[in-house]
Structure 1
Amino acid sequence: MPAPLNAFKAALQAGQPQVGCWIGMADTYAAEIAATSQFDWLLVDGEHAPNDLRSILEQVRVIEGSGSQPVARLPIGETWMIKQYLDAGVQNILVPMVESGDQARDLVRAVRYPPYGVRGVGSALARASRFAAIPDYLKTADKQICLLVQVENRAGLEALDDILASDVDGVFLGPSDLAADMGHIGDASHTEVVEAVLDAITRVVAAGKFAGILTLDPAMQRKCLDLGATFLATNIDVTLFAQAVRRAADEALALLPDQSVSGVAKTEAASKYLQQLCKHWSHKAQVAFDDTHGSVEFPGGSRLTLVAGETSLSLTAQTGPRGDLTRWQEVIEAHLVRFAFREDFSIDWVD
């Protein structure tokens, strides 16, 4: 009886593109929900998510019971850690920050038993062998392990050909870290970054290895698939949850009325102050104004309309239902008082 067939690796070997999702909630229940989707693979993240081997194993278990295939990203490519993940039954592992061919070859040895590698023999204790219920596990395990390495900085790109010359199964490109290393932190869509990633994918495919990437950009996803990428993550559970719950909150708050208060300030320089205030906030907010009318809208929902007459400035201040209207009034008045320092200026607010 051989080691269990690695369906994820078999699909990649058959040239069938596999679409996946990043799982970073570090929670078995959330992973089980994700496993009810139709993603081909789900990656449980041990590098940036608050996971350890036990929590990753629990998530891998629930994913194994679904139609998706589990992949686990280690926090670092240490031999002892790889051994533990493999013994826990994780057949697909992703190792971050691989920067040289020597490092890649060390990782290959770490996932193989002697004489081809250095993986420790402890299968009798291991979930991977069904606790010694698979008699041929030691002789058949190596072929079912899928080792994916992450190239995500300039050093890794420079060493890519040497990495590809090793026996790693695939190379995963990391645009976010690469963008930071190239001087474009937070901008993975920068032309220089995109060109480097697409060139690397082309080289990986040409070398006969599996090429993969995580990108939320549909246009980039299409380009990578067209170049031959075979394992593509298109979303992140944390991002999906955060967007959905924020949208739900916005929709719920939209059911409630905005807060509003009006005020009048006596002044013969109303038009001047209106224009000064609008110009002052024009670099922070959406602003429109002329000699007699002005409007200001900040991203957080604080809004202001102004009407200048010959002897008075009329104002209407608004916030969303949970905004701090009193603080917004104070901010408006403080700015206008500063502009009108030559006169005794005050706003008579009326609810």
Structure 2
Amino acid sequence: MPAPQNVFKAALKAGEPQIGCWIGMADAYAAEIAATAGFDWLLVDGEHAPNDLRSILEQVRVIEGSGSVPVARLPIGETWMIKQYLDAGVQSILVPMVESADQARALVRAVQYPPRGVRGVGSSLARASQFAAIPDYLTTADEEICLLIQVENNAGMAALDEILTVEGVDGVFIGPADLAADMGQLGNAGHPDVEQAVTDGLARIVASGKAAGILTLDPAMQRNCLDLGVTFLATEIDVTLFAKSMRAKAQSGFALLPQQIVTGQAETGNASKYLQQLCKHWSHKGQVEFDVYAGTISFASGNSVKLKATSEALEIEASVSPRGDLDRWKIAITDHLKRFAFREEFELYWNN
């Protein structure tokens, strides 16, 4: 009886695109929900999510019971850690921050038993062998392990061609976020120079015959990657999806409630001047429309102000969202207008 077939590895070898999702909520219940979505593969993240081997194993178990395949990203490519993940029954692993062919060769040795590798022999204790219920595990396990390595900085990209010559590496994943940071574009993975480096790297991986992979939330980039020949593509992250959805639902709920609104006025012969100054001042932070008589300023936070100028006064209507801080918003408007009107005795009276 051999080791279980790794259908994910087989699909990559056959060139069949596999669509996946990043799992970073570090919770088996959340992973089980994700496993009902129908993704080809789900990556349980041990690098940037608050996971340890036990929590990863819990998530791997529930994913294995679905139609999706679990992949685990290690926090670092240490031989002892790789051994533990493999013995726990994780057949597909992603190792971050690979920068050289020598490092890639060491990882290949770490996932293989002697004499080809250095993986410790302890399968009788291991979940991977079903606790010694698979008699041929030791002689068949190597072929079913899928080793994916992550290239995500300038050093790794410079060594990519040599890395791609290493036998035993099943796939290479390009990490745009860290690569962008190393290229001087921290937080800007969509920068044209970064995207060019990423697509160039992916094309080189595909040309080498190895599986190419990436995580990107950009639909246009996803399409481009598939067209390049990428075969393991993650299109979503559970954490960001959950956070985005929760925030949107909170906002839509609050939208059912009335805004907080207050009016005010200031007697001044320079109302038009102050109206225009305030609109210009906040034009780089919010949406602004104005002329010499009226203006509207709106911010993404839900704060807004309408201004009307007459020959004798400046009339104001300030509003915030149902849970916004109206008093703070009134103070901000008042302080700005007083700075503009420092040459006169300016007083803004609020009707509340």
Normalising by structure 2, report the TM-score.
0.98
Amino acid at match of 1:256: L
Question: How far 1:12 sits from its partner (Å)?
Answer: 1.2
Report the AA paired with residue 349 of structure 1.
W
Partner of 1:162: 162
Provide Cα deviations, 1:91-148, integer angstroms capped at 9, x if missing partner.
0000000000000000000000000000000001100000011111001000000000
Map 1:1-351 to 2 at 5 A. 1-167=1-167, 168-351=169-352
TM-align CA RMSD: 0.9
Query: How far off is 1:344 after superposition?
Result: 2.2
- Consecutive unaligned residues of structure 1, counting only runs of 5 or more, are none
Cα deviation code 1:180-213 (max 9, x no counterpart):
1111111112221112111111111121111111
Tell me the distance in 1 between the aligned counterparts of 2:207 and 2:104: 18
Structure 2 distance, partners of 1:216, 1:343, is 53
Residue 275 of structure 1 deviates from its aligned partner by 1.5
Equivalent-residue separation in structure 2 for 1:337 and 1:161 (angstroms): 63
Number of equivalenced pairs: 351
Moved over 4 A (4+): none
Q: Which amino acid aligns with 1:45?
A: D
Deviation of 1:278 (Å): 1.5
Instruction: Look up the equivalent residue of 1:342 and give its one-letter code.
Output: R
CA distance in structure 2 between the aligned counterparts of 1:145 and 1:194, rounded to whole angstroms: 30
Task: Provide the C-alpha distance between the structure 1 equivalents of 2:343 and 2:220, rounded to a whole number of angstroms.
Answer: 57
Shift of 1:21: 0.3
Deviation track 1:189-245 (CA, whole Å, cap 9, x = no partner) reads 222111211111111112111111111111111111111111110010011101110
Q: Name the aligned partner's letter for residue 269 of structure 1.
A: N
Q: Give, as a single letter, the amino acid of the residue that structure 2 aligns with 1:216.
A: L
Deviation, 1:343, is 2.4
AA aligned to 2:318 is: A
Cα distance in structure 2, aligned partners of 1:257 and 1:268: 34
**Cα distance in 2 for residues equivalent to 1:175 and 1:154:** 11
Deviation at 1:27, TM superposition (A): 0.5
In the alignment, residue 92 of structure 2 is paired with which amino acid? N
| Identical counterparts, % of pairs | 71
Moved more, 74-83 or 159-168: 159-168
CA distance in 2, matches of 1:131, 1:31: 25
What SS class does the counterpart of residue 47 from structure 2 fall into? coil
Whole-angstrom CA distance in 1 between matches of 2:334 and 2:228: 58
Bigger CA drift: 47-56 or 273-282?
273-282
Unaligned runs of 5+ in 2: none
Give TM-score, length-normalised by structure 1: 0.98
